[in-house]
Chain A
């Protein structure tokens, strides 16, 4: 029975996630349960991600946290003018994290993190109304981050480290709204690239003027995922010099934008902790998704994105109910980086409200089980992507979108 139920978690899940754009904010169950706050919360080795400066404040010598989330996301699309309707297919998305920290002495700690802060998995039915923009996309980036954290004086600490990012992308769309082969099969292209490796870095600072109040800031650098010589595969192309599409390689670049987080936490009435974070993600780096095909006869694909910088406001609260249970709840408002007229169905994200809850079960002195739950609520939105061109003329693709996302997550923490 348990196996069946677990299967439900992993097999029946739908895809997609996130916060705005293709950022996936699921980097730790304790933090997620508190609205994904954490830049100023000294809780566990989740700090490797949230603010390396805090690691040095952890009480234990060794701290390990690992977890997985099951992302159940649904997107529906409809167009009332034409009666078009589409929804994304079910598929599984399971972002993971692993963090460890080690206290070398009372002013120095080391850490290591492996996590997946970016990703996207959206699958529409092939040849749906927006198939000239996307049939399906699978985007993944795994970050590996060695970290150092140290105290300067009594109140101030710093931390940071390099980030090694390794990613892959697989994207399929139809070439336009009408091109087919002789038998009416839609002409389409798949671009595929794996083993895209890049470097970035993160740095954080933490200030603890009192035992109760913690103030933190963390900056994560932009990482451009540059694809060179990825594979472009064309299907159902008519046999004509007028349609000179054939398999080739491509170059492309996708920015994983820089972000800065500032926040505070305040402990009150002994058992309560309040946390507040503001994220600012510099999405303006994502101007356009340009695919440069090596074969000069094939026109390059330029897809304006023109994202804007976006903020997320996060609130979390924690209550140490008993020795065994710690309860958490949170809320965040996530501003979409997508501007009017740039609402593309591969990341159909408008502003959202995230409601979170979770708990930690302390099993003995060394072991904790962390559970969290996120419900991300989107209002139904009328939106369009106005920068698709046919013969030089814009043909907007619009309609009504509605999303929702449920993310149950489970993690473990070990400390000694």
Chain B
């Protein structure tokens, strides 16, 4: 009898294990989330470093896992989406080798120095990802760091860009061709950032190529001609649409939204009254005689003469800087009536003091106020040595960037509208992060460097949380356009910056 009961209970147990708890409406049941009119079975993301999941000045596995396309693909999977492959790096060190030689730097980490101050430093370690031994594509994530709009169609682009060489399908492959070969059923395209960003992050070192329709003559730091952008972009959308049920296009954010340009204040040189007085004495003649004289002679405008005045005071001052948009006076100053020595003339040639309209780049932080020659304590950058042009994006340079970006964005919006594609106004969204911040369940996402949560330690690329926010923006646009109900992600559950000492 006892055994009979045991057997009964055993049988019961077998029956019970299959009695799993079932919700009335389980989120993991088919049809709970819906992709609407979009077919998400083969999603292909095309773009640059932002699409690749680049962060902290490097590409590494956990960054890629938190790329916005990968975050989206995980949500797509809940609404019938298919697998999503990425050209994963080999480690979390970042850095890239080309036949054993390092061609890209390791990631930044937030390290605490001996004085207890946290700051970004490069992770020490030997990268293990080699271009030569990486798996060939194509992958669903076709984000290529460094790619500009017109690069995507360049045959043999891998020879110019090791990030693409890593996973190009052949030596003559194009990024776009490899993406199209996946036969995407749905695509996203976010390209054009580097067409202005390279110019901006170089402090305007490059050339505004507006009017030059031959991109093969461009340098990397140049601004792409808007017509070149439009032609490239239009061709890419056409190619990606061939097999797709739909897609989403993202526009180009303002450079003023990113901490690379908003962290280091233009006014950054502390001086006491005595030093300020001594410096002013040195510039007195220049301010009161030379500049008004040049203006009177018509060599420079009265406005430029005013802009070139150098004045220090006790407290925090604007640094002196070289501005290549000023009239170059170095030759004139060596001639009559000034007869300045060549070195002084060169110093003053395109000199002015920075002002509140200038954007000082993040990398200037370690340069401003430093003494590059230990033997000359008087040689202070920003005080007696002008800050290099590459560290300051002037108002004039910002204007060029803004004009080009506005034109690109008009193109993107028009192409989205013309083709009935979902459109994400990334520009406005990032501007909101930078101005008011975006609330999430445990705080506010802002673009403040290190602490804001949106931007990684390179000051340009988002954190996982920033990418998650981007993914939500895109999902929202897709849901609206395609009558889909793809779930959002909770951005509070995505990480920000990585604290670690070497």
Contact = CB atoms under 8 A, between A and B. Distances in A.
B302 interface: no
B343 interface: no
Interface string A377-399: 00010000000011101111000
B441 A410 contact: no
A369 B10 contact: no
A138 B316 CA distance: 60
Interface string B332-345: 00000000000000
A89 to B, nearest CB: 12
B200 to A, nearest CB: 30
Given A369-B2, A402-B21, A12 B62 contact: no
Contacts of B17: 8, 12-14, 72, 90
B487 A81 contact: yes
Interface in A340-396: 361, 363, 369, 371, 373, 380, 389-391, 393-396
Given A371-B5, A404-B21, A396 B441 contact: yes
Contacts of A221: none
B13 A395 contact: no
A81 B490 contact: yes
B350 to A, nearest CB: 43
Residue with the highest number of chain B CB atoms closer than 10 Å, among A178, A361, A403: A178
Nearest to A372: B9
A393 B112 contact: no
B479 to A, nearest CB: 13
Contact of A371 (B9, B14, B465): B9
Interface stretch (B23-31, B168-176, B354-362, B395-403): B23-31
A395 B500 contact: no
Given A82-B489, A82-B490, A178 B112 contact: no
A195 to B, nearest CB: 32
Contacts of A90: 17
A395 B442 contact: yes
A70 B10 CA distance: 10
A83 interface: yes
Contacts of A70: 9, 13
A240 B500 contact: yes
Interface in A281-295: none
A80 B24 contact: no
B111 interface: yes
B496 interface: yes
B214 interface: no
B487 A241 contact: no
Contacts of A326: none
B492 interface: yes
Contact of B23 (A78, A82, A183, A393): A78
Q: Of residues A9, A12, A81, which shows the largest number of chain B Cβ atoms within 10 Å of its Cβ? A: A9
Given A12-B13, A178-B496, A83 B21 contact: no
A412 B6 CA distance: 12
Given A184-B65, A184-B92, A395-B441, A81 B9 contact: no
Interface in A396-416: 396, 400, 402-404, 406, 408, 410, 412
Contacts of A406: 12, 16, 19
Contact of B501 (A4, A181, A240, A402): A240
Interface string A1-41: 01011101100111000000000000000000000000000
B7 A5 contact: yes
A408 B12 contact: yes
A238 B33 CA distance: 37
In this complex, which of B24, B62, B493 has the most chain A Cβ atoms within 10 angstroms of its Cβ? B493
Contacts of B492: 177, 390, 395
Contacts of A181: 500
Nearest to B8: A371
Interface residues of A, number: 60
Given A85-B26, A177-B493, A371-B5, A403 B443 contact: no
Contacts of B488: 81-82
Contacts of A400: 23
A84 interface: yes
B9 A182 contact: no
Nearest to B27: A78
Given A72-B16, A242-B118, A390 B109 contact: no
A243 interface: yes
Contacts of A259: none
B20 interface: yes
Contacts of B111: 240
A94 to B, nearest CB: 12
A29 to B, nearest CB: 11
B21 A408 contact: no
Contacts of A373: 12
A9 B13 contact: yes
A107 to B, nearest CB: 35
A14 B13 CA distance: 11
A129 B21 CA distance: 18
Given A182-B109, A390-B442, A410-B5, A243 B499 contact: yes
A168 interface: no
User: B27, B441, B499 — which one has the most chain A CB atoms within 10 A of its CB?
Assistant: B27
Contacts of B297: none
Nearest to A72: B16
Contacts of A247: none
Contacts of B498: 180, 182, 238
B28 A6 contact: no
B493 A178 contact: yes
A126 interface: no
A393 B442 contact: yes
B484 to A, nearest CB: 13
Nearest to B441: A395
A340 to B, nearest CB: 18
A13 B28 contact: no
A286 to B, nearest CB: 25
B92 A380 contact: no
B376 interface: no
Contact of A9 (B10, B28, B92, B112): B10
B217 interface: no
A404 B6 contact: no
Contacts of A177: 442, 492-493
Given A8-B10, A9-B9, A242-B112, A380 B490 contact: no
Interface string B460-488: 00000100000000000000000000011
- The 8 closest A-B CB pairs, nearest first, are A5-B10, A395-B442, A184-B62, A83-B487, A178-B495, A240-B499, A390-B442, A83-B78
Interface of B: 1-3, 5-14, 16-17, 19-28, 32-33, 61-62, 65, 75, 78, 92, 109-112, 116, 118, 123, 441-443, 465, 487-490, 492-496, 498-501
5 contacts: A5-B13, A85-B28, A363-B2, A395-B441, A395-B442
Given A361-B1, A404-B21, 7 more contacts: A5-B11, A70-B9, A76-B22, A180-B495, A180-B498, A183-B62, A406-B16
